[in-house]
Chain A
């Protein structure tokens, strides 16, 4: 499965969700499909995309939050999985694109290439719903199930270690940040 195809497959479902991605290939590929004001790309601070998603999910329970994470990023913040599980935001879908490598910095293999299983780690941390998807139709169906389930879900999507040729796009970091904030604060706040 290619990450770009996986993103394309669920893209229509992202229209009314609040989306946080990690840096690098994930951010560039989602933008190549089409940027929306409800998408935020955390272009550094590896590991914190899921924490940002948690902060949004807890303060905006009226919104579905989708985090597109990566194996390298999750490995930098494994403790964050225990925090996610502890507060169990039912409106959060946590997708981990696992290409078993640090693609953006030269493709060096991560620990998932030698057997560390992020779905099992998430389950053991207490995340109530976890799944591993290896094929595109499988990914699409577990994503659909996760959005319908109304419970915290971590989906590990095993993807090929391929990505775009460049990662810098014409969307400035601060432009993205302020547009995203405006989107979130214009939408109906919780009671």
Chain B
């Protein structure tokens, strides 16, 4: 069985629904499998599976201008691949953009190929002046997602939540 947390994923999905998210773009990665499946099974959610994450910035911008709230689901390497779109579409045009980014490569990471991206994710978010917080415990998932969406809309700009190992991965520590 996959050690990806179903309970953690459910909390995130329900909070996104409570924040009125009606469109989700995603490029699947291991930690996001349950979230993508939940979106797939939800008849009220428009799920757009991407070829590359940057497309999701354009899709969310279009949805926003059309009056529909959306969220992007991606790995931090997908965030790295989306930076031009984030800057020259979402920031340039003041688009509220809720980005849920799986924070691979932090403490506990076993895949060597994830570690370099993990090391630069937070610094890049800061350099881009993207407000961000962490989802690392079930107790604050709903509140933080709600607050992130509120700030995205009041500031009219991208915000990010880093999905952390402690919430997303249930494998025993070794």
| A residues with CB within 8 A of B | 20, 40, 42-45, 47-60, 77, 79-80, 82-83, 86-87, 173-174, 177, 180-181, 184-185, 189
| A48–B23 alpha-carbon span in the complex (Å) | 17
Among candidates B65, B84, B89, residue contacting A184 with C-beta atoms closer than 8 Å:
B65
Among candidates B48, B68, B88, residue contacting A45 with C-beta atoms closer than 8 Å:
B88
With contact pairs A45-B85, A80-B55 given, residues A55 and B49 touching in the complex (Cβ less than 8 Å)? no
Interface SS majority for chain A: helix
Cβ A44 vs Cβ B61 within 8 A? no
Pick the most buried of B59, B63, B68, B70: most chain A CB atoms within 10 A of its CB.
Answer: B59
Cβ B65 vs Cβ A87 within 8 A? no
**Residue-wise interface mask of B (74-99) relative to A, using a CB-CB cutoff of 8 A (1 in contact, 0 not):** 00000000001100110011100000
A-facing residues in B46-73 (Cβ within 8 Å): 46, 48-52, 54-68, 70
Cβ B59 vs Cβ A51 within 8 A? yes
Residue of A nearest to B69 (CB): A59
Pick the most buried of B49, B55, B84, B94: most chain A CB atoms within 10 A of its CB.
Answer: B55
Cβ A51 vs Cβ B46 within 8 A? no
A sample of 17 inter-chain contacts (CB < 8 A) reads: A20-B62, A42-B89, A48-B89, A50-B58, A51-B57, A51-B59, A53-B62, A55-B70, A56-B65, A58-B63, A59-B62, A80-B58, A83-B49, A83-B55, A173-B92, A173-B93, A184-B66
